[in-house]
Amino acid sequence: MSSVELHPADAIAFLKASRRANHRGRSAFDRLYTIYILAISTVVIGVLGYGSLRNHPFSPENIASVNARLPFILAAFFGLVFIGVLRFATWQGPVSFSRPDVPFLLGSPLSRGELVKPKLIGAAIFGAAASAGLGIVVFVFLEAKMLADAGPLLGATLAGPVLFGLLAVGLSWHVESSIRRARWVVRWGWILFVLAVAVALGVRDPSGDLASAALWSGPWGWAAAPIVAAAGGSAPMWPVTLGLLAVSATAALFTALRSADAAPMEELARRAGLRSGLSAALYVQDFRGLAMLGREARRALFLPRKRKIRHPRRALLVVPWRDALALLRAPSRFVWAAALVGAGALVGGASGNHPGGLALAIVLGYFAAARLVETVRQEADDPDAAGRLPWAFGDVILMHTLVPSVVLAGLGWVVIGVAALDGVLTGAEAGPSIGLVALASPMLVICAAGVAQRGRLPIELLFYGSEIVILWYALGPLLGLIALGAPVASMIGNFDRDLGMSQAASSAAFFLALGLVLGITILRRRRPKTP
Amino acid sequence: MPKTSGNAKQRLVLTARGLVKKYGDAVALGGLDLDLRSGECVALIGHNGSGKTTAMRIMAGLMEPSEGSVKIKGIDIHVARGNPITRSAIAFAPDNPVLYDDLTVEEHLILTGLAHGVGDGLDERIDIVLEELGLTDRRDYLPSQLSRGMRQKTSIACTLVRPLEVLMLDEPVVGLDPPSQRLLRDEISRLISDEVAVILTTHQIEFARGIAAKAVILDNGEMVDHGAFDQVVEGEKAASLGLV
């Protein structure tokens, strides 16, 4: 056996050739056919869509209004994409290896930098191409609706997003290659999220100064500035922002390529394991599996805090104790629930009793409840666990609704308190509202628990088509709408008949109590899934 | 009999000092020191969760230690990450074999050989390794066509087809039938005779007996006993932990 100079390209070329030879999947013709169909569909839909938009351009007043809001819309959008890409890099990122790549390639003496660089360059090309595609969609919309000059607009909608995409790929490698930076992004990334939301809120009252601040607030604004200028808006310094973006993207990519060998083996191996789970979960549309992978990834960065609550002495309190522990150890669930309740209250308040707005508020409330019933999902993951308790499965599930109901009601009462302090609710209205929240919260939690105890999407449903799968996932929000729809409708009907709050609330309370009895009865009859 | 113990002719190839791995408050490995010389075999023995695999993965460079260092030929493998000298030296076979699902047994060996710069003689080397591990008639099988034991043997074969100085085998006999265990023992003995240093983890003391010169007992991450193999496995600690 003699040794020769190591060439990663040789090993990778052999790997690719062997895998291609053994691959029993689609032929090259099938792949080309798919690309052809996608391309032709895109062109046809693009031409039709463009024609349709072009036939109904904005009026000059609308164009002025959109131009005033465009800096906020685009900067907020790019900001959300930016934090999304960086968050993705905390558990996957632009460079990923398969599980066997770890022992066979990364564990070999081949240069790790040489193994990483082609993947990083591929990710940069993909990022640039995806951004260009996005830019073209923006171009088509703005050119057709705002009748902007096509040449400069096309240049701006390509240059800004493409440079932004390259910057995002470069920075995301820096996150991927350092656990410290990944932790930093997870810990502080929410600030960027809040900033993006704050920028988006600027749409409500657009002013020149605020727009300028949005465009200078970071790379997300720099990428938006040339588009705003080309669409006819005010961004006089756009060449500077574009230059800043170009310099940042070049620096990020250059330093990323220079540090291509910096990622620790342990981290690349962990991501390879997550990638294999991710592919499997996506293949069977298992969103629960995806969520669990996300949690596993977070736990690798931050160990869960082992906060404790003294265990109860009474058996009946053991399930609520377990639920309280679960919430205490995953406080993000509570934060999400609070945010969703707050968003629901804002949407409901702003709806002016419009059915669509109220329905959205109910759905947001349902999602808040769904965030709090994780332990029910765990019972569904392991039906035998409930079998070790001295109660029927349905009763265990019902017990699991106690803590989430109290927490959700508490959040609802906080909203009522804020509304009362703000003068939105009078004292006479606040009292009945507290009672209604006390009934509506367990109702939503019971709906969420009933849906959660079904477990993961049965694989056989995938054979019945996407409509059935969508319906399976939509059942929860639909149940929430059905459960709270009647009480809300009765309240609005009573308000329309000029009845007082107490009378409107009592009829709604009746419907809620009826729904609760029905929900509890159904939940208690649930049986664990048999494998 | 290849069983050897340290002597002047044997080179020190791996030095582990104060290896600690912590997950928050939990200590998976609480301080392991190990010297490994060429032509020497050390068995890491302990119950489930004793820290054997953690120690092995740290020494293989697959896991970062919380404290301590591992040096191969004087190079700290966790400081000089991805150093080709250290990675050429270490061959690691995990307890749970990870293989490409679309590569045959032979192609796994070719890939390993190419990645480790094996030039002329690779084909002959593959034939020999396949023969030694009883995989010749499975050379064109994909992993999905192999039993757990055969996949384990393929993973081990990949470590043998390339030049190496330190062989690390994590629970190598899991899934292997007695004849395959004997083949593996013979192969390890041959490697030890060829001055390869071997570290293996196992629950099966009898497998290690005869090939391992030294033993280290780990319990709850702590190194509770170490020394000459026979002395350690017949010692008080091994008995009190119920390892023998």
Assess A413–B contact: CB distance below 8 Å, yes or no.
no
Assess A114–B contact: CB distance below 8 Å, yes or no.
no
Nearest to A102 among B98, B111, B125 (CB): B98
pLDDT recorded at residue B2: 46
The residue whose two tokens read 């050739």 is A17
A195 in helix, strand or coil? helix
Half-sphere exposure of B149 (CA within 13 A, CB side): 13
The residue whose two tokens read 């060439």 is A7
- H-run or E-run covering B197: strand B197-202
Q: Which two tokens stand for residue A388?
A: 């070790």
Q: Which two tokens stand for residue A509?
A: 């309370």
pLDDT averaged over every residue in chain B: 88
Residues counted in chain B: 244
Q: How far is CA A132 from CA A39, A129, A158, A159, A204, in A?
A: 15, 5, 5, 8, 29
> B142 and A15 in contact by Cβ < 8 A?
no
> B118 and A19 in contact by Cβ < 8 A?
no
Assess A13–B contact: CB distance below 8 Å, yes or no.
no
Nearest CA in chain B to A264: B81
The Cα B58–Cα A4 span in angstroms is: 28
> B163 and A3 in contact by Cβ < 8 A?
yes
B16 beta partners: B34, B70
Q: With contact defined as beta carbons under 8 Å apart, do B215 and B43 qualify?
A: yes
The Cα B170–Cα B37 span in angstroms is: 19
Size of interface A-B (CB pairs under 8 A): 114
Assess A98–B contact: CB distance below 8 Å, yes or no.
yes
| 3-state DSSP of A42-98 | HHHHHHHHHHHHHHCCCCHHHHHHHHHHHHHHHHHHHHHHHHHHHHHHCCCCCCCCC
Nearest to B115 among A11, A99, A265 (CB): A11
Assess B122–A contact: CB distance below 8 Å, yes or no.
yes
Assess B163–A contact: CB distance below 8 Å, yes or no.
yes
Q: How far is CA A354 from CA A349, A357, A360, A482, A488, in A?
A: 10, 5, 10, 17, 11
Q: How far apart are the CA of B108 and the nearest CA of chain A, in angstroms?
A: 8
Nearest to A100 among B84, B98, B119 (CB): B98
Rg (CA), chain A: 27
Q: How far apart are the CA of A113 and the nearest CA of chain B, in angstroms?
A: 9
> B64 and A264 in contact by Cβ < 8 A?
yes
Residues counted in chain A: 531
Q: Which two tokens stand for residue A315?
A: 């058996």
> B114 and A111 in contact by Cβ < 8 A?
no
pLDDT recorded at residue A2: 47
Assess B108–A contact: CB distance below 8 Å, yes or no.
yes
The residue whose two tokens read 């000089």 is B80
Which amino acid is located at B57 in the chain? R
Nearest to A2 among B23, B104, B121 (CB): B121
What parts of chain B have a pLDDT lower than 70? 1-9
Kindly provide the b/e burial profile for residues A229-266, where b requires at least 16 CB atoms within 10 angstroms of the residue's own CB.
bbbbbbbeebeebbebbbebbeebbeebbebbebbbbb
Which of A78, A183, A91, A176 has its CA nearest to residue A135? A78
Q: With contact defined as beta carbons under 8 Å apart, do B202 and B48 qualify?
A: no
pLDDT along chain A (531 residues), means of 10: 59 80 70 87 87 85 88 93 94 92 87 90 96 92 86 92 97 94 91 88 78 90 94 88 96 95 87 88 84 83 76 87 90 92 89 86 96 92 79 92 97 92 81 90 96 88 85 94 90 78 84 94 86 56
Contacts of B111 in chain A (CB under 8 A): 11, 14-15, 18, 104
Q: How far is CA A289 from CA A36, A281, A482, B122, in A?
A: 33, 6, 28, 42
B55 beta partners: none
Q: With contact defined as beta carbons under 8 Å apart, do A6 and A110 qualify?
A: yes
Assess B128–A contact: CB distance below 8 Å, yes or no.
no
Domains of chain B: 12-97+165-240 (3.40.50.300)
> B117 and A5 in contact by Cβ < 8 A?
yes
Q: How far is CA A30 from CA A19, A41, A73, A465, B133, in A?
A: 17, 16, 40, 22, 40
| 3-state DSSP of A138-149 | HHHHHHHHHCCC
Q: How far is CA A120 from CA A130, A182, A460, in A?
A: 15, 18, 37
Nearest to B125 among A1, A103, A108 (CB): A1
Assess B81–A contact: CB distance below 8 Å, yes or no.
yes
Q: With contact defined as beta carbons under 8 Å apart, do A370 and A336 qualify?
A: no
Q: With contact defined as beta carbons under 8 Å apart, do A209 and A99 qualify?
A: no
The Cα A267–Cα A330 span in angstroms is: 23
pLDDT recorded at residue A6: 58
Rounded to 10 degrees, the C-alpha dihedral B55/B57/B60/B63 comes to -110
Which amino acid is located at B12 in the chain? L
pLDDT recorded at residue A26: 62
Q: Which two tokens stand for residue A207?
A: 């002013």
The Cα A262–Cα A398 span in angstroms is: 50
Assess B87–A contact: CB distance below 8 Å, yes or no.
yes
- The sign of the torsion formed by the CA atoms of A377, A380, A382, A387 equals positive
